[in-house]
């Protein structure tokens, strides 16, 4: 059963850049709420090229992004999203779970449901929004990106798993919404649970949408 969830973005600069200090502080706020829920199991979920379960002690590094920072033990194997999640968390979670960026919604929902079967579950969900929000975005500016961003922000604020489950993969791909699959894992884990949402941040400092939210 999902008892708490936190949604955070995963740009490499999040862990260090002064201009992202408010975003970083908001992430620590929602992560503290995860701990306060006293879960049996805490799992970090994030998008990657493939769907893979990792041990909570698995290592990741930000060296490919020019930052000499890392977390975990052994050779770095974690994708960016889980590496940032591991660094924000500050300790080894009970599990690290990547989900393929192109995973079908049904597979994402099923993965979330399987995680929720592990006991009182807390999820740290690493998910970026659209990268097509402005003319300075990494992707080409798309007018449809802003309303899509607002839809997700509303779903997070209202703890609405149905709205996240309904996200269209083709539209998400067109709008460079890399967090779609991870958000749908959250929807699957939440199921019919009655949780309350709180949206702390909905910003786009580099033309990429970043959300910080909690469900309790």
DSSP 38: -
Per domain, the residue ranges of the chain are: 2-215
Give pLDDT, residue 151: 97
CATH H-level superfamily of 2-215: LigB-like (3.40.830.10)
Quote the pLDDT of residue 76: 98
- Percent of residues, the chain, with pLDDT higher than 90: 97
Question: Model-level pTM?
Answer: 0.97
Q: Determine the pLDDT at residue 134.
A: 92
Strands 121-126, 2-8: pairing is parallel
What end-to-end distance do the CA atoms of the chain give, in Å? Answer: 12
pLDDT band at 63 (very low <50, low <70, confident <90, very high): very high
Which of 126, 144, 190, 145 has the alpha carbon at shortest distance from 163? 190
pLDDT at 152 over 90: yes
Q: Which residues contact 61 (CB under 8 A, 6 or more apart)?
A: 69, 70, 76, 83
């Amino acid at each position: 059963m999902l008892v708490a969830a936190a949604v955070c973005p995963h740009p490499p600069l999040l862990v260090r850049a002064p201009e992202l200090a408010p975003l970083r502080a908001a992430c620590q706020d929602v992560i503290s709420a995860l701990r306060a829920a006293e879960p049996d199991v805490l799992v970090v979920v994030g998008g990657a090229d493939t769907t893979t379960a990792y041990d909570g002690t698995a290592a990741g590094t930000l060296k490919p992004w020019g930052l000499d920072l890392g977390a975990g033990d052994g050779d770095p194997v974690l994708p960016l999203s889980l590496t940032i999640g591991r660094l924000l968390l500050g300790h080894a979670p009970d599990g690290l779970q990547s989900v393929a960026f192109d995973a079908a919604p049904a597979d994402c929902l099923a993965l979330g449901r399987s995680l929720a079967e592990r006991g009182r579950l807390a999820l740290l969900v690493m998910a970026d929004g659209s990268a097509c929000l402005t003319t300075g975005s990494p992707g080409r500016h798309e007018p449809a990106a802003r309303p899509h961003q607002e839809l997700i922000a509303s779903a997070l604020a209202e703890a609405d798993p149905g709205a996240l489950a309904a996200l269209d993969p083709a539209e998400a791909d067109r709008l460079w919404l890399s967090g779609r699959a991870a958000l749908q894992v959250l929807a699957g884990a939440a199921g019919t649970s009655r949780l309350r949402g709180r949206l702390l941040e909905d910003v786009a400092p580099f033309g990429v949408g970043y959300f910080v939210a909690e469900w309790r």
